Amino acid sequence: MVLIGGALFLFLVWRRLKEDYSANIIFSLEFFVLAGVLVGFLVSLNFLPAWGFWLEAFGAFLGFSFGIFKFNLRFFETFEAVFVAFLPWISLFYLNNFFKSPGWGEGFLFVFNLLLIFLFDFTARRYKNFSWYKSGRIGLAGLLTAGVFFLFRAAIATILPFMVSFSGRSEAILSGICAFSLFLLIFNLAKA
């Protein structure tokens, strides 16, 4: 499932960015992001297993940031492409865990991630028609989906911390900060 998710990630990022950037730039960006994920995974595997999600996410963000600055990419559309490409991969991760040891928690998280994909698709198709989103700039769908993702993680970490491998009480705080930051970016993007 990891290989299928990785291949799907590569394809989805390329598909969303292919009209604006060359294939070399897109694949370099993807390499940086995946290298960051791999470094985060290896660090968590060997030193901080409870922080796996956050170390991988931080590694992905560092790789993403490096790619943005190196190739002078537009932040919002690139963030949208990369974040949304991770959702099927995360869904496959939960589906794989569900098959290994069936439980309602993993099944619920799989369905939730699929719903996020539909939320993204719905928002990406209609964001220019939202009366409160006057700027009409690209990025709303990705930021909204990411914000809901982290808001949900914060809620689950607070209410049902056993559902996902969380890093203790700090999970709710970190996820809450991420959600707040993403919603603040939406607010600023809507006004621009």
Number of other residues whose CB lies within 10 A of the CB of residue 71: 16
pLDDT per residue as tens digits for the range 14-64:
999 999 999 999 999 999 999 999 999 999 988 988 788 889 999 999 999
Mean pLDDT of the chain: 87
- Higher-confidence residue of 18 and 192: namely 18
Burial of 96 (0-12, 13-18, 19+ CB in 10 A): middle
Give the predicted TM-score (pTM) of the model. Answer: 0.89
Distance CA 125, CA 135 (A): 15
Q: Which pair of structure tokens corresponds to residue 111?
A: 């369905």
Number of other residues whose CB lies within 10 A of the CB of residue 2: 10
Distance CA 182, CA 187 (A): 9
Closest by CA to 144, choosing from 85, 192, 83, 94, is 83
How many residues does this entry show for the chain?
192
